[in-house]
Amino acid sequence: MAYFDHAATTRLSERVRKAMDRHLRDVYGNPSSLHTPGIDARKTMNTVKNRLAEHFGVTRQNIVFTSSGTEANNLAIKGTYFRHPNEQIITTTIEHHATENSVRFIERVGGKTTYVGVDRDGFIDLEALKHALKTQTSLVSIIYANNEIGTIQPLKKIIPIIKAHGALLHFDMVQVPLHQAIDFSELEADFVSLSAHKFYGPRGSGCLIARDPALLEPLIHGGQQEFHRRAGTENVAAMVGFLEAYEAARENTKAHTEHVDNLSHYFIEQLNVKNFDYRLNGPDLDHSRLNAVLNIGFKGQDAQHLAFQLNRQGIYVSLGSACDSDNIELSHVLRAIDVPKAYIKGSMRISLSDENTREDIDHLLNTLEMLFNE
């Protein structure tokens, strides 16, 4: 097997599984219960949040656990809108569907929205952003590292523009933790979304880091959990898994990045050596991008057919966002960056991790050569 879909999900690591196991079986109390099992669960949850808060440069009151990065994005965007229904929400044309469809929902209920375009590498149009900002802009939501083409937005240019207008700022940083630490105290953002299963943690465990959670209207109503921002009995085992996965990612960031960078350079080098007619969609390697996320357009090919044939050979790639796998339309991200017609239909995403090897890359390339020559 050669798995090249780590931007969609990573496997649960053994370290994380072991950390979660005791809390799946033995620490079973409801954290809201006022008896010993419940208190034990509450202590565990508070310990998890305190340790994460140290990593993020915040307090535990700034961390709202969710079921996913998708829910975290929804909470940031809709939670802000419901507090300021007459104000504008701004986002970009290359967002994850969790953001895009949250903003589309706001449009359907009569809210004011604006989409800012990007250049051919996926970098936000700063002049268009300046023009879009209004006195009554409540929130700007931007994907920091794009899940389809790897583009990393220039925060040092973006943040001053938004802060000068007094708008709130949300970053979708779901793809980031394997590649760099997140210091919320230095970001000057108001909200950041994360999801554990993108860095060898459990599915069903995300979080929203919020500078002031009281600015958000809850989307789920019930009890007083998550400082009144997200009702429902907490999944303590998943929280433990999130923490363990994040700490492992921080410990391994340098080695992971070096390994992935080497693989991505080797892959592009071999595409050239073997004379593939291809296009790297998004920035060049090492140019403000995640080298782990390679969106490659093969001229004159059908990526859906290629992905199906690769799957039969035990090679797993994707066509873009895993949240859009049932949609046969071309990726909105690739359309937004104007990928040429000759390459867009043959575009696939190859997302790497430290579990991939050069042998995996060779297997992929050799199989593609075989398929192209059929």
Q: Catalytic residue positions?
A: 323
The residue to which tokens 């419901």 are assigned: 82
Q: Copy the structure tokens of residue 136.
A: 């009554």
Which segments of the chain are extended strands (E)?
2-3, 63-66, 88-92, 112-116, 137-143, 168-172, 191-195, 206-210, 278-281, 293-298, 315-316, 347-351
Helix or strand run (H / E) with residue 253: helix 236-273
Q: Copy the structure tokens of residue 39.
A: 């208190």
Please give the radius of gyration of the chain, using alpha carbons only, rounded to the nearest integer: 21
Sequence-ordered list of residues with C-beta below 8 angstroms from that of 294, at least 6 positions apart, any chain: 150, 264, 267, 268, 280, 349, 350, 351, 352
Label residues 322-347 b or e (16+ Cβ within 10 Å = b): eebeeeeebbbbbebbebeeebbbbb
Cβ(17)–Cβ(328) below 8 Å? no
CA quadruple 238, 190, 137, 172: dihedral sign: negative
The CA distance from 313 to 369, in Å, is 13
